Structure 1
Amino acid sequence: MKLAARVQQVTPSMTLAISAKAKAMKAEGLDICSFSAGEPDFDTPEHIRAATKAALDDGKTRYGPAAGEPRLRAAIANKLRTDNHLPYNAENIIVTNGGKHSLYALMMTTIEPGDEVVIPAPYWVSY
C-alpha cells in the first residue's frame, strides 16, 4: 500500500519520547515530575467514576451528538457567561475530544492551502 507523501514527513512525537523517558526514570526510583504529556497524576475522582458507571448501567453506550451532549454544551455556555462574561449559548459550543482536535477542525474549516498561519511560541511540539 502506498502512503500519502505527507506521511513520510511525520516524525516521532518528542512529547511521547520525553514521557517514556520520564516513566523509565521513575521506574528506576528517581523522583521525577514530568511536564511532558498532559497525563493526570491522580485517579479519576469518585463522582466521575460513579457517573460513568451509572451511564453504562443505563445503556448510554452509543455515539452522542456530533457537536456534543446538549447538557454539557449548555453547562459550558453557562460557565462562559457566568465566569467570563461571554455571551455564548449552547448553540455556539462544539465539544471536541481535545485541544489538538479543536485546532485541527478550526484550521480545516478556515484556511486554504498556501494561507499563512502564525503559531506563537511556546506551542505543542507536533504543531
Structure 2
Amino acid sequence: MKTVATLALLAILAACGSSSEDEPAKPKLSAEKAAEQTCTEVNAGIEEFNQGDYAGTVTHFEKAKITAKVYAMVSDEPEADALLDAVQYYANLDPADYPEAARSSENFARNKAITLNQCADADDGTDGQKV
C-alpha cells in the first residue's frame, strides 16, 4: 500500500511541471482542492474507525497523505502542516493499536481534534463531532 501511495504522490508531483525552466514547479492542485481531497479521505477514514474497521481507517489515511503533502506544500497556513502531521500519525498507526490509542493516547486526542476541526462535514449536521 505504501508503494501505491508513493507512486501516486510521484504522479501528482510529476504533473506539476512548469511552463519555463526559470519558473519553479507548482502543483496543479490548489490549496483549497488539496485540502478538500484530503478531508474526503480523512472523513472516510473516520467513518471506518467508527465502524471498527481499523485497517480500513489506515487505508484512507494512507490515501489522505498524498494530498495532505500537496496541501502543506502549496499552503502558507500552519493548519496545512498540522493536518499533514495528523494524517501521517493515523496512517502510520498500526490497526491493532487503534482501540488503545483512542482510549489513552494524547497524540491520538490531539490529532483527532485537528482532523475533526479541519475536516468537519457541514452536510452531516455533526460539525465534525464524530465519535
* TM-score w.r.t. length of structure 2: 0.24
Q: Which has the higher contact order (CA 8 A, sep 6+)?
A: 2
* TM-score w.r.t. length of structure 1: 0.25
Which of the pair is proportionally richer in helix?
2
